Amino acid sequence: MVAVLVWLVLSIINCSMVQTFLRHSLFYENPRYIMFICMVINDAVQLSLLTALYEISYIFRKIHASACCLLIMTAVLTTRSTPLILAGMAMERYISICFPLHYSQMCTIPRTLFLICVVFILTATPPITDLLVTIVKEPPSFFSTIIFCDHSGLFRDWAIYYKNWVFDGTYLSFVALTLLYAYCKIMLAARAASAGLASLKRARNTVLLHGGQLLLCMLTFVVPSLQAALISLFPHLSMEIRYIFFLLVYIIPRFLSPMIYGFRDEQFRKFWARDLACRSCGIFRVRPVLLKVNLQVK
């Protein structure tokens, strides 16, 4: 119930942000907000899939391997997309601070959309190769069996484990170096600047928050091994261990995306609060009208 309640709250926040983004053209003409809304949608899909997998493990315990394959592959894709989108957002902040005169030429809408497509193609490659290796290694009847829906239980070949270990280590190192580079460059620009320090501080803090978000994202790649070790030591607490890791690793980091731009960005916060206020005012206006109509009918 707690997991579903948190998912519901975050889903409402994410949906309201997407509605605010779509209602105002100034947002989808800005590369920064395009990448932000991609992050929000990606996090919403990831959270929904992980919550579904978590609830399935409680209610049904085991499901068809083919259905599990679809859920796991989509969840892995959205999980791996987050760090690369973070890297793109950090570089956008770096360009806007260090190359303000060339920002409009370097950060265009077509380039932003192309970057997002490249991110999803890169992150779709590992789960697709996992599936291909499993199709080759496992018998055809495997996908019609009933299994506990888990990545290690679905993709059981050791080659998949080592391949993903190399891929995750490489691209997480790339993202970490990108964030570190952007932060250092922004810090150097802040020291050299004599004016506009407020925007530099906001950019620096944004990249720092991206770094914290990356650290939390990296936990998703460490947790499976740690979780398996703890479950082997305390098998009678397997569900409790899964629940704790689910909240700490998959739920809490999803609160950071709304905070970074939804609450900290003044422009987006202004339009978001206005849309929420208009929606609530509309609800309160409709109720008296309905009440008046009912009284007249009686």
Question: How confident is the model over 185-205, as pLDDT tens digits?
Answer: 877 776 766 555 666 677 777
Whose tokens are 């030591």? That residue is 233
- At residue 118, the pLDDT reads 92
Cβ neighbour number for residue 288 with a 10 Å cutoff: 9
- At residue 114, the pLDDT reads 94
Low-confidence ranges of the chain (pLDDT < 50): 283-295, 297-298
Residue 297 lies in a domain: no
Nearest to 66 by CA among 141, 121, 129: 141
Domain count within the chain = 1
Residue 196 lies in a domain: yes
Residue 83 lies in a domain: yes
Residues in Cβ contact with 85 at an 8 Å cutoff, skipping those fewer than 6 apart: 35, 38, 39, 42, 116, 119
Query: What is the Cα–Cα distance from 27 to 105, expressed in whole angstroms?
Result: 18
Residue 298 lies in a domain: no
Query: What is the Cα–Cα distance from 155 to 224, expressed in whole angstroms?
Result: 13
Query: What is the Cα–Cα distance from 232 to 172, expressed in whole angstroms?
Result: 28
Longest dimension (CA), the chain: 74
Question: In this structure, are residues 29 and 109 in contact, taking their beta carbons and an 8 Å threshold?
Answer: yes
**Residue count (the chain):** 298
Residue 242 lies in a domain: yes
Confidence (pTM): 0.81
Query: What is the Cα–Cα distance from 294 to 298, expressed in whole angstroms?
Result: 6
Burial profile 73-112: b = 16 or more Cβ within 10 angstroms, e = fewer: bbbbbbbbbbbbbbbbbbbbbbbbbbeeeeeeeebeeeeb
Question: In this structure, are residues 14 and 258 in contact, taking their beta carbons and an 8 Å threshold?
Answer: yes
- At residue 113, the pLDDT reads 92
For residue 97, give its domain range: 2-292
Residue 91 lies in a domain: yes
Query: What is the Cα–Cα distance from 98 to 101, expressed in whole angstroms?
Result: 9
- At residue 290, the pLDDT reads 40
Structure confidence by residue, pLDDT tens digits, 229-254: 787 888 887 777 877 777 777 777 77
- At residue 112, the pLDDT reads 92
94 token code pair: 């770096």
Could you tell me the CATH number of the domain that includes residue 104? 1.20.1070.10
Residue 36 lies in a domain: yes
- At residue 297, the pLDDT reads 47
Question: In this structure, are residues 224 and 241 in contact, taking their beta carbons and an 8 Å threshold?
Answer: no
Question: In this structure, are residues 65 and 11 in contact, taking their beta carbons and an 8 Å threshold?
Answer: no
- At residue 282, the pLDDT reads 54
φ, ψ dihedrals at 146, nearest 5°: -100, 120
Residue 92 lies in a domain: yes
